[in-house]
Amino acid sequence: MRSLVLQFSSLLQLWLVLGPVESQQLQFLHKLCMEPVLLDSIESMKEAGPRYNQLQTSLAALQKSLNETLFEFVLHDLKNLDSSAQTPRKLIRTVCRMLELDEPSYANALLIASVSRRSVHTRIATRSTEYLMHLLTSLGIPCFTYLGNAVAQLDQLPIKSRMEQQPMCIRLEPGAHHVARAVADFLAIYKWRRLCIIASKQTPGWQAVIESLKNLADDSHEMNDPNVFRFEVTQVLTFDGVAQVSDMRRCNQTGCIRAYDSVLRRLVSGDDRIFFLHGNFADLRLLVHRVHIKNSRFGILFDKDYLWIVSPSAVTSPTSDLKSGFDSNLGTIRIAGLFALYYDSNLVKAVTVASQLWFQALRQFKQRLLQQSVAAGGSLTNLDILRRMRPTFKCSNTTGLFWPDGKEIFRLALNSSHCYECGNEDKREYIGFDRRGLLNTTEFVLLNSRPNSLKDSTYWHPVGRWAMSSQHESLGGTSFDMQGVTWPGLASQAPLGRPKKFRLRAATLKEDPFVRYRPPEPPGSEACDPVSLPCRVLAENASLPDRYNWSAGNQSESLPYTASCCSGLAIDLLRELMKDLNFEVDLFEVPDKKWGGWTNNEWNGLVRVLLEGQADMVVTSLKITPNRSEQIEFSVPFHRTGITILVALREGAISTKAFLKPYDYPSWCLILVFSVHACGAALFLFEWLSPQGLDKGNVPPREHKFSLFRSLWLIWSMLFGAAVNADNPRGVASRFLGNIWALFALVFLASYTANLAAFMIAEESYYDLSGINDWRLRDPTSHRPPFRFATVPSGATEENMRMNYPDIANHMRNYSKSNIDEGIRTLKTFEIDAFIYDATVLQYRVGNDEDCKLKTVGNWYSMTGYGIGLPKGSKWRHRINHRILSYRSSGLLERWSKYWITGACQQSGKLRNTNQTLGVKNFISAFILLIGGMLFCCLLLLLEHCFYRRLRPQLKKWDRYGCCGLVSISMGQLLSFEQSVNQTVDLIKHHKCQNPICETQLWKLRHELDTTKRKLQRLEGMLNGRLQTATSTSENETRAVTDSAPTTIGNNGQEYLRITNCNQGEIAQKLLPLHEVAVSERRDSNCA
């Protein structure tokens, strides 16, 4: 093994000028050095020696040009530490020698390098480098690594524990993410979307390489850009390989060759065509030799349809010039079309980058300390600064074995960048690192294997170059150039990267809406429309045996299959899988037309066809159950389902309570009980308190007949719009409340009438079962007549009932139907009362029933899903699951479900639901209107009292001519004096006593009044008799007086005499009929 530990140290030269006198006394020359260590062979050190010396000279010249006066940075000579000396004790001793250099030399960094491509050297150098990295990190000393012979072998999986610490090491060689990116770009050039990874566990870093490729594949599928290349890692095969070529001879004896054969067998039986091998040279050579064994069945793996990509760790060092090609050392085997990523190591470039970065970090750290010293008032001297730029402990110390400032200088170097060969535009390269210390730029040479025409061997030839740099914008900062490629099998073009076409046998069974059959168009052909797939189904009138003979092998070929076209939700899923996974299908109906159940100590139907190897998959509404999962494998569910109950609707009579259906019972109670009586009581209360109404009982009932019962009568008549006599209130508040109630009644009647028609139809009756635990299913004989229900035998429903409800299963076995169509037909003809089956299928049948006479009842039971059935160990399961999950996340499965399952009856059912019984929440706005009206009436009542007490006297004075009467008659009457008088007279006339004594006295007075009236009538009769005799004697005198007295003719033609009374200077005139006027009065009439 050739390994190089290049300890490059800084030679610190200090000229402390403290004045004329001190400058003569103190002159320090400090060197930060590393003990020369080489983890490689002496030959490697000799090869790098001359160029390394040139690098030391150029570095010294650079420091002089920068005029660095505080320290001098110097690289020490290389020293060798061969593989036999790379034990933990000697590695620790090397670090101790580095820390114990003689003054004024001090070491503050370590460069570890190895360029030998011998497998044993590479493996030991990798382990030693890992040991040194962790050892130096624990001491706080940064390091640089350059393992040009161990690309991606130092990479570890991401740190998951807080106890772990990221090594303080800057990596100058490519890592696992560089290898993964180069492989992904190679796949993208030729659109190879499937990759199989083969990794040897004996090669360090194999887990990091696998993880990096998987992450790139996952990231490609998460991007929304349709132009992004997407690929997938189909499978990862790992094996215990050999550590070195010398172990190959013992491989047959130890049995390790079986691991290689196992990998090759899986590759031959698989569908992958692009392989990536991450292993050492011994692994590649063993695989090639196993493939090229005489009469080996693995020979097709290097045919024109297959392509191999080899990691850099499996390529040996060139034995000649790289440009002209070199021997692959695979022996006497001629192979064309292998590809390998080769890293052309450059030790001088690595040392140049490391020295420049470290020198720049030291200068930045020095400048930062100087700034801190100035800010602190010069508290740090130059000697203090130099002490902080190196470790101050030795291995003999028992405490303080950590350099705290080393971590800070490491961060400065990590965040720095270096321009390599800036003077050359073609080779200019900006080198930087990420937070883990990994390179952001690197380069691989793409090697291509070609048979050597002169020798019976295989040569590697460079055909391209992959580079990651900030200069390249294509492929996300990378470039890939290829030319003159030799393809596998000496083919003229690149392989497809997949099988040309997979042809799978798929069994199915009719089940709407998942799978449905229809004849091809035109009849007699095998052509199907774009949304269907050609399939073979058994003829409807074919005579099939009662029990299919599965042991007859290909007996299904002799069955009477006819060409048909299959469509449906499951067929749409199958078509999408065929397009994405690149396979074709031979779709046929299962021979015995069974779903797959355990009967007669064997499986039948769809499960049996997979167990017998007669189908590669089952595509239909195959329900996932525990028993089936023990025999076959299922994909992830593509649709959920369960078990439910289907019943038929029966015609019935109109319900006797249909007129009450528009509102629920709480609404009726609130309207007819509370609202009516509350509003009636409020109306009477407002009328009772109103001064224009009952005025607290001061208005006699004969004048205004209004009571609580009359108020309720008015409310009821207004609610139903009855044409009856009713007394109206007089108060303003009570009248307004009556109008509010009229509006409430209008809303009530309108909504009631509109909703009543939906319930005045014949009600459809059905068996409203609560679910699988309904008493009619658990005890069918308790129903009269006995309850009849059925299902389809040999299905998931019968299996579930048999396991969980054996009594139900035994009863419905008497009514079992061969398929769902027969079950629905017998359900509609009332031969059975209920049908138990898959919930999703029954939901579809309900929505698409011609008469809409079907209904599912009860809760779903035994929730599960439909999946694609596959044989045990099927290689398609992972890929199908991945695609189904992507269809679900994109919403494709949901769109299929809406398209296939939604039916017209379900839509009409939604329309029926709009005429449901109205509740209190539906009528809440009307109640708010009523309550708000009552509150407003309270305000009107207060305003009415204010008007009578305050505004009425003022308005009476203003309205002298009765103008208010033109606006409101009642207001004019209130302001009229005559009206007030009439009210007063009426009050007196119809006075009502408040106690029995008053009633008795009033009765006595009325009796005396009646007696007096009778006496007056007798006296009037006697007076009329006596005056008749005097009438004739005074008639002449009357005429004379009449002629001279003023008379007036009335409207009825009768004469009236105007009588004038002159009493005490007051004159009063009145008209009396002429025959009633006494002679003395006639004479007195002339007093005027």
pLDDT digits (tens, 9 = 90+) for 179-232: 999 999 999 999 999 999 999 998 888 999 999 999 999 988 888 887 888 899
Question: Tokens standing for 863?
Answer: 């929730």
Annotated binding site: 628, 797, 838
Question: Tokens standing for 240?
Answer: 């215990």
Cα distance between residue 542 and residue 1083, in whole Å? 140
Annotated binding site for L-glutamate: 628, 797, 838
Instruction: Compute φ and ψ for 368, nearest 5 degrees.
Output: -65, -40
Question: Tokens standing for 542?
Answer: 């074919």
**Blockwise average pLDDT, block size 10, the chain, 1088 residues:** 33 28 36 62 62 70 69 69 74 82 78 71 78 89 87 71 70 92 93 93 90 92 83 90 72 73 85 91 87 75 92 82 84 89 86 86 88 79 82 84 90 88 78 87 92 82 87 60 89 87 87 89 77 87 57 56 91 92 89 84 89 91 91 93 88 67 80 81 83 74 72 80 75 83 83 75 75 89 89 85 89 87 89 90 86 86 90 89 92 90 61 60 81 86 80 66 56 52 54 68 77 83 76 56 51 52 47 50 42
Q: What is the pLDDT of residue 969?
A: 54
Q: Count Cβ atoms within 10 A of the Cβ of residue 300 and give its class: 0-12 exposed, 13-18 middle, 19 or more buried.
A: middle
Question: Tokens standing for 679?
Answer: 């509003």
Torsion region of 468: left, alpha or beta (phi above 0 gives left; psi -120 to 50 gives alpha): beta
Buried-exposed string 713-749: b where 16+ CB fall within 10 A, e elsewhere:
bbbbebbeeeeeeeeebbbbbbbbbbebbeebbeebe
Cα distance between residue 965 and residue 87, in whole Å? 126
The one-letter code for the residue type at 533 is: L
Query: Which distant-in-sequence residues (6+ apart) come within 8 Å of 628 by Cβ?
Result: 596, 607, 622, 634, 796, 869
Q: What is the pLDDT of residue 68?
A: 67
Cα distance between residue 332 and residue 340, in whole Å? 19
Q: Residues spanned by CATH 3.40.50.2300 within the chain?
A: 4-171+348-431, 176-342+440-490
Cα distance between residue 288 and residue 306, in whole Å? 14
Collapsing DSSP to helix, strand or coil, 941 comes out as helix
Q: HSE (CB half, 13 Å, CA atoms) of 211? A: 11
Question: Tokens standing for 509?
Answer: 């069974």
Question: Tokens standing for 120?
Answer: 């044993």
Question: Tokens standing for 876?
Answer: 């398609």
Cα distance between residue 698 and residue 709, in whole Å? 19
Domain 176-342+440-490 top-level CATH class = alpha beta
Of 57, 119, 130, the C-alpha closest to 91 is 130
The one-letter code for the residue type at 149 is: N
* Whether 39 contacts 114, CB under 8 Å: yes
* Whether 823 contacts 777, CB under 8 Å: no
Q: What is the pLDDT of residue 241?
A: 82
Question: Tokens standing for 522?
Answer: 């035109």
Length reported for the chain: 1088
Q: What is the pLDDT of residue 725?
A: 73
* Helix (H) or strand (E) segment spanning residue 572: helix 569-581
- Tens digit of each residue's pLDDT (9 = 90 or more) over 235-258: 899 988 887 766 766 676 666 788
- Tens digit of each residue's pLDDT (9 = 90 or more) over 920-949: 777 788 888 888 888 888 888 888 888 777
Q: What is the pLDDT of residue 697?
A: 72
Domain 4-171+348-431 top-level CATH class = alpha beta
Torsion region of 600: left, alpha or beta (phi above 0 gives left; psi -120 to 50 gives alpha): left
**Three-state secondary structure string covering 128-190:** HHHHHHHHHHHHCCCEEEEECCCCCCCCCCCCCCCCCCCCCEEECCCCHHHHHHHHHHHHHHC
Q: What is the pLDDT of residue 45?
A: 60
Q: What is the pLDDT of residue 186?
A: 94
Could you say which DSSP state residue 223 is in? -
Cα distance between residue 893 and residue 517, in whole Å? 21
* Helix (H) or strand (E) segment spanning residue 405: helix 404-414
Q: What is the pLDDT of residue 199?
A: 93
* Whether 625 contacts 800, CB under 8 Å: yes
Instruction: Compute φ and ψ for 869, nearest 5 degrees.
Output: -80, 140
Torsion region of 476: left, alpha or beta (phi above 0 gives left; psi -120 to 50 gives alpha): left
C-beta atoms surrounding 1077 within 10 Å: 19
Cα distance between residue 926 and residue 81, in whole Å? 99
Cα distance between residue 678 and residue 712, in whole Å? 9
Of 932, 983, 970, 966, the C-alpha closest to 731 is 970
pTM of the model: 0.56
